[in-house]
Amino acid sequence: MLSKIASLKAIFNYLDEKTKLELIKYNKKLQKKIDINLTNYKLFSKRYIKYKTNSIAEEYTIDEDILIFEGEYLNNKRNGKGKEYDIFGDIIYEGEYLNGKRNGKGKGKYIYDDDNYLLFEGEYLNGEEWNGIKYDKNKNIIYQLKNGKGSIKKYDYDGNLEYEGEHLNGKGKEYFCNGNIKFEGEYLDKKRWNGKGYDINNNVIYEIKNGKGFIKDYDNDGYLDYEGEFLNGEKNGKGKEYYNNGNVLFEGEYINGKRNGKGKEYDDKGNLEFEGEYFNGYKKEGKEYFKEKLVFEGEYMFDTRWEGLGKEYDSDDQKVFEGEYINGRRHDKEMEYDSDELEEMNK
């Protein structure tokens, strides 16, 4: 006689992909009982969690199935002791978690030239360094924190100073790679709150008051990265993102730092690639172009043509498919034409 789990697996395997996804959406406990390896499940959850026991789990990246975490789990979140890994398999944190965030004693590590260096050792609170000592790759002490307070210095991978000032809240300065000031002022919860922003040549280009303003933000090499409305330390309102060559990458609306509402995307030569609606940073619904030619219009999930209705077009603006997409592929072939049918229709 089949066991309960074996019977459940047998039933589950007979279901179509859409039904499986719906079941997993509303009953995550199924994943504990069945080793589900659905592409759409990984995409929906943004991560792939594999339970080894009821309280021990592993997390993998969505695309490459690379292990990024192993440890204790409770209520589908990291709770207890665990380890984080980078995409090369090196440990970047080892310690305690609470409700999915680093909480309690732990060690943050830094990978440099294939060597694993201790970066921070102490206590974390809500994912932030709280009590402990920060080191550089030569094991020199950079700063010490007590109850989340202290003056700190942060460097990039090449050793360039990126920030110096108070931790989390208070006064500080950000720097470009050439050592010039990028922003100087006050921070609230690590976000720019009051102060002035500069370009790489030390010219003042904007001012923020109480987390609000219209800013021009540059990357650390001095290339314009974003210009637009800024509120509560985040992109909010209308704005534009840029390529390093100065062409617009995206223009549209933002909420809390993420693309939300109407927007357009372009390639680095200025050709329109997408226009439509965004939600929480991802494409939701719209039209997709290739070399200014419409190739698709419909619905998206996490920037991928996914579930819902859609239409595809060829290079001559002829519709070649109209119907439903599931798992990123055509499903309901309500309207699909071959080349002979298209030739007959165009006579």
**pLDDT for position 347:** 43
* Domain residue spans of the chain: 151-233+242-255, 271-347
Mean pLDDT of 172-198: 96
Q: pLDDT at residue 225 above 80?
A: yes
Residue 64 CB-density burial (10 A; 0-12 exposed, 13-18 middle, 19+ buried):
exposed
**pLDDT for position 139:** 81
Contact at 8 Å (CB) between 128 and 168?
yes
Q: Which residue has the higher pLDDT, 304 or 276?
A: 276
Contact at 8 Å (CB) between 155 and 136?
yes
| CB-CB neighbours of 294 under 10 Å | 16
Mean pLDDT of 129-156: 90
CA atoms within a 13 Å half-sphere pointing along the CA-CB vector of 207 = 2
**pLDDT for position 50:** 82
**pLDDT tier for residue 298 given thresholds of 50, 70 and 90:** confident
Q: What is the 3-state secondary structure (H, E, C) of 166-179?
A: ECCCEEEEEECCCC
- Entry pTM: 0.69
CA angle 141, 78, 80 (to 5 degrees): 70
Distance of CA 136 to the CA centre of its chain: 27
**pLDDT tier for residue 19 given thresholds of 50, 70 and 90:** low
**pLDDT tier for residue 338 given thresholds of 50, 70 and 90:** very low
**pLDDT tier for residue 337 given thresholds of 50, 70 and 90:** very low
Edge-first strand order for the sheet with 272-279 is 212-218, 224-231, 234-242, 248-255, 258-266, 272-279, 282-290, 293-301, 304-313, 319-326, 329-336
Contact at 8 Å (CB) between 82 and 76?
no
Q: What is the pLDDT of residues 96-107, one digit of tens each?
A: 999 999 999 999
**pLDDT tier for residue 23 given thresholds of 50, 70 and 90:** low
Mean pLDDT of 120-149: 91
Share of the chain above pLDDT 90, in %: 53
Q: pLDDT at residue 41 above 60?
A: no
Distances (CA, A) of 129 to 44, 108, 133, 150, 291: 30, 9, 9, 11, 47
Q: pLDDT at residue 342 above 50?
A: no
Q: pLDDT at residue 127 above 90?
A: yes
- Average pLDDT of the chain to the nearest whole number: 82
Distances (CA, A) of 233 to 79, 150, 180, 194, 199: 30, 21, 22, 9, 19
Mean pLDDT of 53-80: 87
Residue 218: strand pairing partners: 224
Residues 177, 220: Cα–Cα separation, whole Å: 6
- Beta-carbon contacts of 56 under 8 Å, excluding residues fewer than 6 positions away, are 70, 71, 72, 73
Instruction: Look at 33-37, 76-80, 177-181, 246-250 and tell me which has the smallest mean pLDDT.
Output: 33-37
**pLDDT for position 291:** 82
DSSP 2: -
Residues 249, 64: Cα–Cα separation, whole Å: 26
Read off the tokens for 107: 């060690």
